[in-house]
């Protein structure tokens, strides 16, 4: 039976967001790249793609931990005991009947998996806090003009927290929608319509992503803190 390698901590599967959603499973693990061993993928029964075989231990640990979280989330939903394959663009290829998303940052990896009868797409993202000075520089690139006006007070008072949250939501949105639409889009192509908080948030497309996703389409986002990091989730209902 596959076992967790030393570079990955025990799985945590407590649902992190305030609103519980149907047909979803969330799993996270803390990571220690300094404990990565070349035998770790075999120990976990997870073959590595050729693209990362010569990568640094941190990248190999992140890949391994994220895929193992995904495998655990899938099995919780009754899915196959298998990690998602890798698509040509590097994104996970989920088995039939399931969708999901993976994210990792320094010291932590997460995955969410969902039943396709409930969800067409899912996007999850973990981000460490951006410092205030860097956030002020990034704001014009990451926030639309309407967002900068809408969140003007927060941008002045807590730019790091606001920009980190907006950035993370837009990363989650891309992960959720790109596999569904096949269209690439960028930070100025979507916006948050209300103040990010620990409950639901609405994201709106500022550009069309095909006939099924016209400009003005909205999706639901969720936000929480996770080990001192910003954790966001965007869901695309089936």
DSSP 188: G
Q: Mean pLDDT across the stretch 9-16?
A: 95
Domain with CATH 3.90.470 in the chain: 8-117
Displacement of CA 89 from its chain's centroid (Å): 16
Identify the pLDDT of residue 50.
Answer: 87
- Phi, psi at 87, each rounded to 5°: -75, 175
Q: Mean pLDDT across the stretch 169-174?
A: 98
Identify the pLDDT of residue 84.
Answer: 77
**Percent of the chain whose pLDDT exceeds 90:** 84
Sign of the CA dihedral with 35 first, then 37, 41, and 66 last: positive
- Three-state SS at 41: helix
Give the confidence band of 202 by pLDDT, cuts at 50, 70, 90.
very high
Identify the pLDDT of residue 83.
Answer: 77
- List the beta bridge partners of residue 8: 31
143-153: per-residue pLDDT in tens? 999 999 999 99
Examine the pLDDT at 82 and tell me if it is beyond 80.
no
Determine if residue 175 is labeled as part of a ligand binding site: yes
Examine the pLDDT at 51 and tell me if it is beyond 60.
yes
Displacement of CA 26 from its chain's centroid (Å): 11
Determine if residue 59 is labeled as part of a ligand binding site: yes
- List the beta bridge partners of residue 218: 204
Determine if residue 171 is labeled as part of a ligand binding site: yes
Distance of alpha carbon 146 from alpha carbon 208, whole angstroms = 18
Number of separate helices (H) and strands (E) present in the chain? 6, 10
Displacement of CA 14 from its chain's centroid (Å): 16
pTM exceeding the 0.85 threshold for the entire prediction: yes
Determine if residue 60 is labeled as part of a ligand binding site: no
Examine the pLDDT at 81 and tell me if it is beyond 90.
no
Among 172-181, 192-201, 209-218, whose mean pLDDT is lowest?
192-201
Identify the pLDDT of residue 134.
Answer: 98
- Three-state SS at 26: strand
First-to-final CA distance of the chain? 34
Give the confidence band of 86 by pLDDT, cuts at 50, 70, 90.
confident
Q: Mean pLDDT across the stretch 54-77?
A: 95
Identify the pLDDT of residue 1.
Answer: 55
Fold of 8-117: Ribosomal Protein L22; Chain A (3.90.470)
């Amino acid at each position: 039976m596959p076992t967790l390698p030393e570079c990955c901590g025990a799985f945590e599967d407590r649902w992190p967001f305030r609103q519980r959603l149907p047909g979803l499973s969330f799993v996270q693990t803390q990571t220690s790249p300094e404990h990565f061993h070349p035998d770790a993928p075999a120990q976990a029964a997870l073959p590595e793609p050729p693209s990362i075989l010569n990568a640094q231990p941190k990248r190999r640990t992140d890949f391994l931990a994220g895929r193992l979280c995904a495998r655990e989330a899938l099995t919780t939903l009754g899915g196959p005991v298998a990690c998602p394959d890798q698509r040509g663009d590097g994104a996970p290829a989920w088995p039939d009947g399931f969708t999901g998303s993976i994210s990792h940052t320094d010291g932590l990896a997460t995955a969410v998996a969902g039943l396709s009868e409930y969800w067409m797409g899912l996007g999850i993202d973990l981000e460490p806090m951006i410092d205030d000075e860097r956030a002020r520089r990034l704001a014009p690139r990451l926030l639309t003009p309407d967002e900068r006006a809408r969140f003007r007070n927060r941008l002045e008072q807590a730019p790091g927290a606001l920009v980190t949250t907006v950035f993370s939501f837009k990363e989650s949105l891309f992960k959720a929608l790109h596999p569904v639409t096949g269209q690439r889009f960028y930070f100025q192509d979507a916006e948050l319509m209300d103040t990010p908080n620990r409950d639901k948030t609405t994201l709106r497309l500022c550009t069309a992503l095909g006939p099924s996703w016209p400009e003005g389409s909205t999706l639901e986002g969720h936000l929480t803190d996770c080990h001192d990091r910003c954790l966001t989730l965007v869901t695309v209902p089936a």
